[in-house]
Structure formats: structure tokens, C-alpha cells
Chain A
Amino acid sequence: DAKTTQPNSMESNEEEPVHLPCNHSTISGTDYIHWYRQLPSQGPEYVIHGLTSNVNNRMASLAIAEDRKSSTLILHRATLRDAAVYYCILRLYSSASKIIFGSGTRLSIRP
């Protein structure tokens, strides 16, 4: 499985934008870029995914570099409820495709 690299931790202020980076220099052409987050003592939840183009949904935006070797998850206006571990994952387009988690980025939000 292709590997992703993320900073161990980041801090941000409430109501400010947050940019969470992810490097995936060995990404293959069939890998989708997924982001999940895990709040304390809960299972992970899906945030967003993309292949080549930037993506927006109600939770976040995903900016994908032109060479696809890196991506950035953007939370436009952080709230205290966004404090979580964010995982950047590469995955094939298939319901049977397993997810291998890296260490993720622990995001703290200052009130």
C-alpha cells in the first residue's frame, strides 16, 4: 500500500481556517486520496475523498496537487468539535479495498 506522511500534530484557533497537509509521493494512478477523522473514543468518520480535482463538501475541502504527490485538507472555519486525529489515506476504488491507517495528525483547537 502506498504510504502517506503527515505532521504528528497541529494547533489552530477556533473560527480560523486549518490546512492539514499530506505527502504521498508514491501514489499510483488508481489510488484515491481519502481523509478520515477520529474523535476521542469513537470510530473514524469519513471526511472527503478525491482523485485529481479539488473537492468540496459540507465538512471540508480537499486540494490536490497537480502531480498528485501531495494534498491538503482544508477546514474553513475550525470549531472545538473539529479537534480530532485526521488520517490521510490512499485507497483503490472498491468497496472491498482495505484501509491502512498511518499515524495521522492530531489537531487541537484553541478557544
Chain B
Amino acid sequence: GAVVSQHPSRVICKSGTSVKIECRSLDFQATTMFWYRQFPKKSLMLMATSNEGSKATYEQGVEKDKFLINHASLTLSTLTVTSAHPEDSSFYICSTSDRATHNEQFFGPGTRLTVL
């Protein structure tokens, strides 16, 4: 099946810094990518839908100026957590689907962000 990678897998940063997380589709073109966050023992919460070449669509309650999403190519979407604070510490996961098999979503392995 299709492979989605995320980088980094784990990041620790100081409060006030910005962190960029990359999501890549390795063997197919991803027109649409999704970004989720997950707190411990909780379910995944959809943050935004990222469309190649256009602005992302954010879910209600997600600050677009806080969580910057860029989807400049068909294989790469990035999520930047700006001026991170401890409450932004979470597990961030991206997903996408191959247009050829659009019933199956492929998820990345996740990025664990810890803000000190």
C-alpha cells in the first residue's frame, strides 16, 4: 500500500519557538492531505484539510495563524506550529489517499511534539 512519512518523528522545543512538521507521500501524488492532533488517551481531532496549490481549510476552533499549513507540491505538506507553548504538546498525524484507491486513507507515523 501507499506510504506516508513524517519528519521529524519526535521534537522537543522551547516555548515561543516555531516547529515545522513535514508530511510526504512517497509513492503517489496527494492532492489532498489532512492534519490531525491527538492528546494522550484521546481520539484524533481533525485540524485542517490541505489542498495542493491552494489555502488550507481549517476546522472550527483551530487557529490558522497558529498552525500554518503549506501544500506546495503533490508529495509534500507542512504544518508549522508557530510560537509553540506547552499546551501545543501533542501527537500530530497527517494522512492522505491515493486517487486510484480513494477509499483508503493512509496515515503517517505521527510526530510527537513536546514544548517545554
By a beta-carbon cutoff of 8 Å, the part of chain A in contact with chain B is: 32, 34, 36, 38, 41-46, 49, 85, 87, 91, 93-104
Contact A100-B46, Cβ < 8 Å, known A46-B106, A93-B102, A95-B32: yes
Q: How far is the CB of A57 from chain B (nearest CB, A)?
A: 11
Query: In the complex, A36→B46 CA distance in Å?
Result: 15
The digit string for B1-33, where 1 denotes a CB below 8 A from any CB of A, is 100101000000000000000000000000110
A95 with B102: CB separation less than 8 A: yes
A104 with B43: CB separation less than 8 A: yes
Contact A44-B44, Cβ < 8 Å, known A93-B102, A95-B102: yes
Look across to chain B and name the residue whose beta carbon is closest to the beta carbon of A106: B41
By a beta-carbon cutoff of 8 Å, the part of chain B in contact with chain A is: 1, 4, 6, 31-32, 34, 36, 43-46, 49, 51, 91, 93, 95, 97-99, 102-110, 112
B109 with A43: CB separation less than 8 A: yes
Which residues of chain A come closer than 8 Å to B31, judged between CB atoms?
95-96
A46 with B46: CB separation less than 8 A: no
Q: How far is the CB of A97 from chain B (nearest CB, A)?
A: 8
A interface, by DSSP: helix, strand, loop or mixed? loop
B105 with A46: CB separation less than 8 A: yes
B32 with A96: CB separation less than 8 A: yes
A95 with B43: CB separation less than 8 A: no
Which residues of chain B come closer than 8 Å to A100, judged between CB atoms?
46
B49 with A95: CB separation less than 8 A: no
Which residues of chain B come closer than 8 Å to A96, judged between CB atoms?
31-32, 49, 51
Which residues of chain B come closer than 8 Å to A43, judged between CB atoms?
4, 6, 93, 95, 107-110
B46 with A102: CB separation less than 8 A: no
